[in-house]
Amino acid sequence: MKSKFSARTSLRIGAAVAATGLLAAAMGTGSAAIAKSKSSTVNITVGVLVPGATKAANAALNHQIATFMKENPGINVKQIEYDWTAPTFAAQLAAGTLPTMFTVPFTNGRALGDAGQIANLTKYAKSYPWFTKFNKAVIAEGTDSKGQIVAIPEAAYAQALTYNRTLFSAAGLNPNKPPTTWAGVESDAVAIAKSNPNAAGFAMMGANDNTAGWILTTLTDAFGGSMESGPVANPTSANFDNPGAVAALDMVQKLREANAMGSNFGLSWGTSNQAFAAGQIGMFVSGSDVYTNMVQAYSLNPSIYGLAALPEQSSGTGADHPAILGGGTLVAVSPKASQAQIAASVKWINYYYMDGENGFTKSGLIAYDKSLLANNQPVGVPEFPIFNAKLFAQQQKWQKSLINVPESQFAPFNSQILKDQLVSEPAAATQAIYGDLDSVVEDVLTDPTGANIPALLSAANASGNASIQQAAAGSS
C-alpha cells in the first residue's frame, strides 16, 4: 500500500549524482553477453522518472546516464517516463510499449514471471556479488514457480507498530519495552487512554480509501490468517471470514468498547501520521518508514517516536501461520529484450539501484546518505532490508556516523524484524480487496457493540470474490 513503491525520484537521483565516480559496474556474465552482441552498441530504455518530473530531476538522471555510458561504452541508455499503475501497466504490457527496464510491486513479480511476461534474469543476476546477499524472503518475490529470477528487489518495507514514547511514560509504561503481544497492545492502549483522555491509546486507519482494508489485512496476517485462498501468486478466491480476521476485529471491537481508540475513525495514512506527530495517538499500525513523512510534513518531535515489530499471534486454529505483511518494488526487464539488452539492463540495475540506492558497497551507501543529509532528509529510518542480516549489520556500521535519527528508539523493530516471517500483500486484485474490506472496518469502528464481525466479513467476501474474478478476466 503506502510502500517504497512510490517513486523516490529526487532523492534517488541526487544520491546517484553524488555517487558519480564511486560506482563501478561489475563484470561477469552480463559483460560477456554484451560483447557477443552483433551490434556494436546495445540500446536500452529505462523507466525511472514518473511523468511530470522536475527539470532538475531529469537533468540529474541524464547526468547519471551519461556517467554510466562513459563507463560502459557499449551500452546506450535512454530514459522513458514511467509510472506503474495496474490499468496502465496492463495496457502497456499488452501493447508492448513498456521500457526495456521497469519497476513493478512485489505483488506482481511472480505472476508476471510465471506468465512469461517479464524476462528471465537468472544467469545475469547471479553473476553479481549482491545476489547471494539478498534477504531470502525478499528475493523470493522476484522468483517464479520454476525457481527462475524474473525480477530484482529494489526496495522493501514491513508493517510495524509506531508508538508514542511520551504517552507511554505518562501512562506509567516503559517506553523502551513496547508490547510484544496483542494482549499487551490492548492493555497498554487502555492505560494510555485512561491517563490522557485526549489521546487514542490505539488508533486504526478507517478511511474509505483502501487504507482501512490494508490495515485489517495487516492485522489478519499477524493473527495467522490470510485474505485470499489458492496459490500465493495466483489466488482463486477471497477468504475474508478467516479466524485471523475475526480475531483481529475482535481485538478492535474490545478496544472500542473500552474507549481506548479515541473518536476519529476516519483516519487515512497521512492523517494518522499527522495525528501521531501532534501527540494524539499512543499506538498505530503502518509501514516502518513513516518517520520520514512525519518529520517532513508534520514537524515531528523525534523524542516521542518509537517503533516496534508487530506482535505475531495464532488465532488458535492450529493451521494458521502468523506473519508480517510487507511489500516493495521489483525491477524487471521486458520479455522482448534480447540477451544483450537483458545483460545491459542488469548492469544498469547494479549501477543505479544496488550500489547506489541500496548501498551494497560502502562508497555507494555513504554517497547516498550524504545526498540525503544535503537535502535535510533523515538517514537511518528503518526499512525491511533487501539484503541479509550480515550485510544489513555491516551497512549500519558504515553509515553510523551519518545517522541523524534517534536510532535507539527504533531498536525494538530493528532487533526483531529479520527474525519475522514476511508475507506479501494479497496478490489478486490487491487494491480492490482492500476497498472491499474498508466498510467492514468502518462498521466495527462506528458500531462497537452491535457489529456482527463474522457476518460482516462473510458479506464482504462476496465482493472480494467478484474483485478476484474481475481481475482474472482482465488479465486473460
The pLDDT profile of the chain, 476 residues, written as one tens digit per residue, is 443 333 333 333 333 333 333 333 333 445 556 655 545 899 999 998 878 766 766 776 787 798 899 999 999 999 999 887 766 888 898 898 999 999 998 878 888 998 899 999 999 999 999 999 998 878 988 999 899 999 999 888 889 999 999 999 999 999 999 999 999 999 999 999 999 999 999 999 999 888 999 999 999 999 999 999 988 767 899 999 999 999 999 999 999 999 999 999 999 999 999 999 999 999 999 989 889 888 878 889 999 999 999 999 876 665 578 999 988 889 999 999 999 999 999 999 998 888 866 778 888 888 878 877 876 778 888 877 788 888 888 888 999 999 999 989 999 998 898 788 878 888 888 889 999 999 999 999 999 788 999 999 999 999 999 999 988 876 55
| Architecture label for domain 158-325+416-475 | 3-Layer(aba) Sandwich (3.40)
Closest alpha carbon to 221 in 242, 202, 194: 242
| Burial class, 71, CB count within 10 angstroms (exposed 0-12 / middle 13-18 / buried 19+) | middle
Question: Distance between CA 158 and CA 153 in Å, rounded?
Answer: 14
Question: Distance between CA 223 and CA 321 in Å, rounded?
Answer: 8
Question: Which 8-state DSSP code applies to residue 134?
Answer: B
Q: What is the DSSP string of 390-406?
A: HHHHHHHHHTGGG--S-
Against a cut of 0.85, is the pTM above it? no
Question: Distance between CA 366 and CA 182 in Å, rounded?
Answer: 38
Domain residue limits, the chain:
9-155+329-402, 158-325+416-475
The Cα-based distances of 239 to 212, 236, 325, 459 in angstroms read 17, 10, 16, 11
Question: Distance between CA 464 and CA 448 in Å, rounded?
Answer: 23
Partners of residue 153 on adjacent β-strands: 330
Q: What is the pLDDT of residue 60?
A: 67
- Residue-wise burial string across 227-261, b where 16 or more C-beta atoms lie within 10 A, e elsewhere: bbeeeebbbeebbbbbbbbbbbbebbbebbebebb
Identical fold for domains 9-155+329-402 and 158-325+416-475, yes or no, is yes
The correct answer on CATH 3.90.1530.30 for the domain covering 9-155+329-402 is no
CA angle 20, 383, 288 (to 5 degrees): 140
Q: Which three cell numbers stand for residue 134?
A: 539478498
Partners of residue 237 on adjacent β-strands: 229
Question: Distance between CA 444 and CA 386 in Å, rounded?
Answer: 36
Question: Distance between CA 339 and CA 30 in Å, rounded?
Answer: 9
